[in-house]
Structure 1
Amino acid sequence: MGSKTLINLLLLLLITGAHSEVTFNFENRCTYTVWLAASPSIGDADPESGSGTLELFSMPDQWSGSIWARTNCAYNVSYFSCETGDCGSGTIDCQSPPPTYPVTLLNFDIKQSVVSYEVSLNHGHNLPVRIQPEGGSLLGGTGLCPVVDCIEDVSNVCPGNLVATNKDGRYVGCYSACDGLKDPRYCCTGNYSSPQACQSNEYSQKFKQLCKLAHTYPRDNDPPVYRCSRATSYNITFCPS
């Protein structure tokens, strides 16, 4: 176990006051560095994860929120910012503020040993991800807890009006229709907030073609949000293929 991993585990134990039954293993298989972020905080004292990095986190017994990876981050004088997933705080620590979209979100709800989990493209896509429970049993179903992921290159299907670029005009991610077009039809707000009005659309369907296991619009429930009981750990991989 590396020094960074050990420090993170010790900090989490201090924050939660007890050992959690839930361990998250973060592995960065991207060819580039990413910076982890979570809202609310998971106590990551050093969020920078180089290519090939493996980090272990003992999660709080009760935690509900989102985890994501920030990309292409750097200091500009004394202000820290990222091209995707940025929090707007100007610091390397990133927790409460919402991320700058587009960003691939990993949503979790932890209640002791029962964990609900999903990959969400409701705010777009900035890198491939996978959540793989180790062991455990699926609540409300049979067998082991399923893998969920979005590992394909979404840039291949991203419509031109949803492409996110950096200051040099280089592709960095794909906006969701809600964030890119600011249309309540795609955000499922206002007159479109009911289950009957909030439906899959031409943009979410493009995402779903490549990422069948991810949720691609606000009321997407195919697949359902899985609930896993007593998995030994959750392997969270960035750029898994």
Structure 2
Amino acid sequence: MATKAFFYNLLILSLFIGGNCDVIFSIENKCTYSIWLGASPSNGDAIVEHGPDTLEVLTMSDPWTGIMFARTACSSNASFYFSCETGDCRTGQIDCQGPTPNFPVTLLNFGINQGQVSYEVNLNHGFNIPVRFQPDGGSLVVGGSGACPVVDCIQDLKNVCPSPLVATNKNGVYVACNSACDALKDPKFCCTGEFTGPACKPNEYSQRFKDLCKLAHTFPGDNDPPVYKCSGANRYYLTFCPS
């Protein structure tokens, strides 16, 4: 008997408009706590709670371009207003398919078109949860050649989050780490104004994140690794809190 109970829920929620509708995401929560998925714009993702050691299989809409993220420490109050300590969508509803979440949050950026998937882990708006995205098979069509690589940020940045970037809950307890741009509002961290183009460079905060999460993008001008595009994968594994 398996030591972990996995709950499988196949959701066929594709648009069937202008695409192949054959991109499969297997989404596993290996955290010790529950998460709630969110997406912007809606992509047919489930809106129910994902408890520890659960797996969900999604057939993704094709075409679709957007972000996915995890919300944590969510609950409803006495008035049934639903909110989360990280990734909250500010609607009061469990359904979070459209609004941009409250930052900081670990972002997964995707582009799906005719069965090809572009993907990246992005910390430009901070970090709230470790993630890994791993294609099963397939070959690169953008970003290099050969097999489609893994991207991730599996380290918990809590221990290296500088005090000016720390995000806390109502009790003053750490819950996530902001990006320097969102926390400090300085153009040099946001790569805006005179800091666009070649003047957009790593900073002391983004470099600290990069040291732990080399496969994630940590500031607006970060192109290492490139945004990969994969074709022909059997499916894609998205894991929260990978071991």
For residue 177 of structure 2, the aligned residue among 174, 177, 180 is 174
Q: Secondary structure at the match of 1:230?
A: strand
**CA distances 1:125-165 after superposition (whole Å, capped 9, x unpaired):** 00100000000001243321000000012112110110111
Q: 1:45 to 1:132 in 2, by over 3 A?
A: closer
Q: 1:4 to 1:79 in 2, by over 3 A?
A: farther
Does the alignment pair 1:74 with 2:75?
yes
Q: Is the 8 A contact 1:151 1:211 kept in 2?
A: yes
Task: Give the Cα separation in 1 of the matches to 2:86 and 2:59.
Answer: 26
**Deviation at 1:190?**
1.9
More helix by share: 1
Task: Give the Cα separation in 2 of the matches to 1:213 and 1:19.
Answer: 29
Q: Specify the code of the residue in structure 2 equivalent to 1:16.
A: F
Q: Specify the code of the residue in structure 2 equivalent to 1:5.
A: N
**Deviation at 1:95?**
1.9
Gaps of 5+ in 2: 1-5
Q: Secondary structure at the match of 2:158?
A: helix
Q: Identity, % of aligned pairs? A: 62
- RMSD (CA atoms): 1.6
Q: Secondary structure at the match of 2:182?
A: helix
Partner of 1:217: 219
Of 43-52 and 23-32, the range deviating more from structure 2? 43-52
The count of corresponding residues between Structure 1 and Structure 2 is 235
Normalized against structure 2, the TM-score is what?
A: 0.92
**Deviation at 1:45?**
4.4
Q: 1:40-79 maps to which residues of 2 (within 5 A)?
A: 40-77=41-78, 78-79=80-81
For residue 145 of structure 1, the aligned residue among 148, 159, 163 is 148
Q: Is the 8 A contact 2:217 2:223 kept in 1?
A: yes
For residue 159 of structure 1, the aligned residue among 157, 162, 167 is 162
Q: Secondary structure at the match of 1:149?
A: strand
Q: Secondary structure at the match of 1:186?
A: helix
Q: Secondary structure at the match of 1:235?
A: strand
Q: Specify the code of the residue in structure 1 equivalent to 2:9.
A: T
Q: 1:234 to 1:74 in 2, by over 3 A?
A: same
Q: Is the 8 A contact 2:37 2:68 kept in 1?
A: yes
Normalized against structure 1, the TM-score is what?
A: 0.93
Gaps of 5+ in 1: none
Partner of 1:132: 134
Task: Give the Cα separation in 1 of the matches to 2:93 and 2:209.
Answer: 32
Partner of 1:5: 9
For residue 204 of structure 1, the aligned residue among 203, 206, 210 is 206
Partner of 1:91: 93
Q: Is the 8 A contact 1:25 1:57 kept in 2?
A: yes
**Deviation at 1:122?**
0.3
